[in-house]
Structure 1
Amino acid sequence: MLELHCHTTYSDGTLTPSELVALAMQAGVKALAITDHDTLSGWEEAFAAAADFDLEIVPGVELSTVYNERSLHILGFYPNKNKLYSPLKERLEGRKRRAQLIINKLAEFGYPVELPSMGEGIAPSRPHIATALVKAGYVKSSKEAFEKWLGDDQPAFVQYEKFSTAEGIQLLLNCEAIPVWAHPYLFRGGEVETVLKDLVSAGVLGLEVYHPSHTSKQIKHLESLCDEYDLLKTGGSDFHSPNSDISLNQLHLPLELLDSIKKVRNHASLTTN
């Protein structure tokens, strides 16, 4: 009944916040986190869409950071929007600059494309460029676009502008958010155990234990690491589109996981006031 990792059209999802809320209701979700990449712009529409229903919206974000020269994502739950807005505006501009550099590379290789026009607060990303490549007829699918050009080790890849994971965690903490390492076993820049020590030192408060990409063995290991370091356990489908193998509420996560996050958040608020 709990979804703590979902994307909308404000980043690389294909549903608007209102459409995501409607689908979540159909799937039996009781608490839904809006965690778009480097933007908070989808929150208000989600709050409005859920206002008359038995669905709690958890305001969140997924920060794009760099660790060991590799992309590492940090989820942040319940950030203070007023404090985080300005820093995220610069992150959004960085995403736009990165997207343009990727497009420039593609043009040099003989595959010119243009990003579709995007509204205020929307974070451009590689999936948007992949869609443009498909539309232009250069590849047959977004998967092929990543395999040929956009993947981390492919010719048109461009790394995020330097924003370290430690800086990202500190930013979230400064903005009263709960920082959580997203899908640890998708990270390709080091062993989970080694990286986690650095993240704990930087102030991370949780791990996304439950994720469609994690095996049952990996989940058990992440659970034990949470116990060892006294970290919060979170989870979500990392939902982007109904036209994928990932479905809302497929993990059937209990609401108690959210209760634990709220307790830590409330305790942090009391200690800082």
Structure 2
Amino acid sequence: MNNSIDLHMHSRYSDDGEFTPTELVEKCVVSGIQTMSITDHNTVRANEEAQKEAKKKGIRYIPGIEIDCVFQNTNFHVLGYGIDYQNNDFVRIEKNIDDQSFDVSLKMLAETQALGFHITENDMWKVSKNNFWQGSWTGEMFAEVLLNKPEYNNHPLLRPYRSGGVKSNNSYVNFYWDYYSQGKPCYVKIEYPSLEDVVNIIHRNGGKAVLAHPNVNLKDYYDLLHPLICTGIDGIEAFSSYHTPSQAFHFFRKAKDFKLFVTCGSDFHGKTKPAISLGQHGCLISENELISSLKKYFTLDIDK
């Protein structure tokens, strides 16, 4: 199994990431990662620092971003690799999310209160005070606050996410998926760009567009995969910490059928997803084969 490449991880510039770009590079060194990309949500701020640090440590680095977008009324994540991250297109992507974040956060707070929880703005400011996106309160952050309130130790809604519960593995993100993701009780809509526009933005900035962890977003909409591919995406993240071996093989075969390239990524965040470690994506392609494929699309600044 190849775990020396990880092209999907998040720094503190993501609203749910824990570590600085430099800390992620250092963690990659310890984990044996030799090729990496930091793909923060809707921002490219990590790339300059990470690229410099990776070069110092002898690690190949591919600039990246993960952009929220919409295709046929369904939310998706598209990874952009090899992009010109200094272009103002990415400033505008970040600003679009930033402009909406606090209003959305307050609405999420109201929906959380409607579940019967006594939770305040002050609670949320305390947990977000050291974050880059201070006014963006994620479902994972609501989970962190609620699961650490003593008065809710035995609350039935929270029981599955506590130690020993059926959803205690990555409890924060599981709570997010169950209550704050699209179609769930505390979901609040954000105006994301269309997937077609995101693919075009990535392409005009010299990058390649890759569909992130497809089973997460396609699990109820598998019929969308073919029209989605027709938008011009270049690759599929077939190997992901969220995919079973059979799911990974399905998306690997789909990529090959449509002559798309394949990537692998853990989606490492830190405390938000503690059960996910760097390099944990189950990629069965050899390092040489994967690197050879990547070199067709990207300039890898360190030859190993």
TM-score, normalised relative to structure 2:
0.76
1:32 aligned onto 2:36: yes
RMSD: 2.8
Alignment match of 1:117 (pick from 114, 125, 129): 129
The range that moved more, 71-80 or 11-20, is: 11-20
The 1:75/1:123 distance shift into structure 2, 3 A limit, reads farther
**1:175-230 CA-partner distances (Å, limit 9, x unpaired):** 221000011111147533x3222222211010001112212222222122112111
Give the 5 Å matches for 1:211-226: 211-226=240-255
Alignment match of 2:7 (pick from 4, 8, 22): 4
Give the Cα–Cα distance (whole angstroms) in 1 for the partners of residues 294 and 55 of structure 2: 22
Alignment match of 1:186 (pick from 208, 216, 235): 216
Give the Cα–Cα distance (whole angstroms) in 2 for the partners of residues 73 and 41 of structure 1: 18
The 1:119/1:148 distance shift into structure 2, 3 A limit, reads closer
Give the letter aligned to residue 33 of structure 1. Answer: S
Give 2:95's aligned residue. 90
Give the letter aligned to residue 208 of structure 2. Answer: I
Give 1:271's aligned residue. none
Give the Cα–Cα distance (whole angstroms) in 1 for the partners of residues 178 and 34 of structure 2: 39
Structure 1 residue 101: deviation in Å?
2.8
Give the letter aligned to residue 297 of structure 2. Answer: V
For 1:209, what is the secondary structure of its paired residue?
A: strand
**1:234-267 CA-partner distances (Å, limit 9, x unpaired):** 111111116722111233662542442342357x
Percent identity reads 25
1:127 aligned onto 2:127: no
1:142 aligned onto 2:191: no
Structure 1 residue 62: deviation in Å?
0.5
TM-score, normalised relative to structure 1:
0.84
Give 1:263's aligned residue. 296
For 2:56, what is the secondary structure of its paired residue?
A: coil
The range that moved more, 23-32 or 84-93, is: 84-93
Structure 2: give runs of 5+ residues left out of the alignment. 153-157, 163-170, 300-304
Give 1:269's aligned residue. none
1:23 aligned onto 2:24: no
